[in-house]
Structure 1
Amino acid sequence: MHTAVPETPAVAVQLTGREPLFLVMNSRSGKQDSEATRQAIRTACAEAGRRCELLVVERGADLASAARKAVTLAREQGGIVVAVGGDGTLNAVCQAVVGQGVPFGVLPQGTFNYFGRAHGISQDTGQAMHDLLNARLEHISLGQINGRYFLVNASLGLYPQLLEDREEYKQRYGRSRWIALVAALVTLARAHRQLDITLEHGGRHERLRTPTLVVCNNALQLKHIGVDPALPDNRDHLVALASRPVGTGALYLLLLQGLLSRMGEAENVISFGFENLTVRPNARPRMVEVAVDGEILRMRTPLTFRIAPHVLPLLIPRSAPTPEHP
């Protein structure tokens, strides 16, 4: 069962360029060799004259405690907390960082790395370390679901099943985008239940039957699948994506359109931007499975989504453009 974290206001953070680094590393993330990654980190810090401490975990369940320890050390010693891993690892460490007044850095190690790529962070560890040690600070906005922050997306229905099957295929055959695609094709071939939900946002109530609902906080992911929803103003928004009830053939077509960056053209796709959204299952199950940045959680309904403006003090390369919002 998921326990919501309280909303935390943004805390002002500044850099001196001399901060020690406390790195939380998931040794099982990504395709890269774990020891080579550690060595690249140590070498970059030594060459820059910066102190670093690696907190390496072997299990995802240990990430939260390691993140809390890293935050405590960073607060005591005026340091930076760095997450080393895929989007799920970055999410776990982020929960401990928000509101604590310490900068947050990332070294992407996963398969897709949408969060790092959206902020111009290299997937090469050596380059990412060089950029991190010379970074600038940008306070970015996060999504929230029932109080838990997310960096990329949160979803229910078919999408969590896609992620579970993808992880099983990765364990068997290795981590690559082609393996992820094959896993998706197998998942879509099965029969699926439709979600029967009511969406409440902007003073409106809308009943919807759909195989899946995805809430996105990543402009790069939306761009890659070809969705560009009209947003009412320049404020930060989350973007909801769903499809009308469709069969297996239509799901395959949606997948193809997404691969071709043309999902927004599909007549079965619904998308809209929002700041606050409540999702109520009409069958009223108390608990539902939700995928949050690739990790499957059980959450109590109703599900409440909101944008949390400028709460994460993220270190990004000096050459990176100002981050885009969905």
Structure 2
Amino acid sequence: MFIHGNASDSVYWEEVMAALPAGFRAIAPDLRGYGQTEDLLIDATRGVMDWVDDLLALLEALNIDRYHVVGHSLGGAVIWGLLAQDAPRILSVTLAAPGSPFGFGGTRDAEGNPTTPDFAGSGGGTVNPDFPARIARHDTSGEAGSPRDIINRFYWHPPFRSDREEALLEGLLREKTGPERYPGDFTASEHWPGMAPGVHGPINALSPKYVGNTVERLLAQTHKPPVLWVRGDSDQIVSDQSLFELGMLGLLGAVPGYPGQDAYPPQPMVSQTRHVLEKYGPYREVVFEGVGHTPYIEKPEAFMQEFTAHLERATQEVSL
């Protein structure tokens, strides 16, 4: 089961699905709020659990008992919740540039401690409103700040361009937008940068305010399926210096009023994932050089080599 990231949909997994070895069945749903799903709202106060419940319902409808799961970016963040909820049925986990298990924004160290009491700097208010507005009007231009421009500057490492750019752009543009959808609402905060999470939409669902005890729950599982973690060394979205996270943007002078690195350090997203996986147990980290946020599209052959070997190892362990 393949789980896509934010500002994308299941189309992003098509090439990997087509390249799977014989004997595997590939399923790639559109998450709630994305792609061709019906327009159901996301209750962000449940963290990623609306998506987890939807995926479990899909598996039940298809009579699937055990499965391998693969997630990219937001999809990786959903997998943290899926592992905490359904680990005994999962055969293996593959994470491609996953979101931090502690959420996106608002935490200060590898242990995921909050930067402020109200998790200011995370949630729907952190998204540049121009981007969802461009999605809403189906902007297919290549001008600065357009969805096409964001894909080619941040989804992968320039000068890479996908030969499926039009299909991938259309997948991005199918995301549902609005105050209760993407990016969601926000509340005022007395802490820098002046906004804290609201209660609607996918970006609020990724706030550490609502992730809750996900890490504690997944570490408490007795069955721990093996994890393959693949990322690019030039990822600017999920990084210890993410250009989409306000602590880093403040440090660079891009957000006014920055209180300094001691008060609001950049979120160390990669370090947080490594910290949790080292406590978790069976995992392997693979880093591709010169690759950005979407390693399975930028380096498909190298990704498939690692991925299929991971599937084979996990399948052999189950058969034993």
What range describes the TM-score normalised by the shorter chain of this pair? 0.3 to 0.5
Q: Report the structure number with the largest CA radius of gyration.
A: 1
Name the one with the larger helix percent.
2
Task: State the TM-score, normalizing by the size of structure 2.
Answer: 0.36
Task: State the TM-score, normalizing by the size of structure 1.
Answer: 0.36
Name the one with the larger strand percent.
1
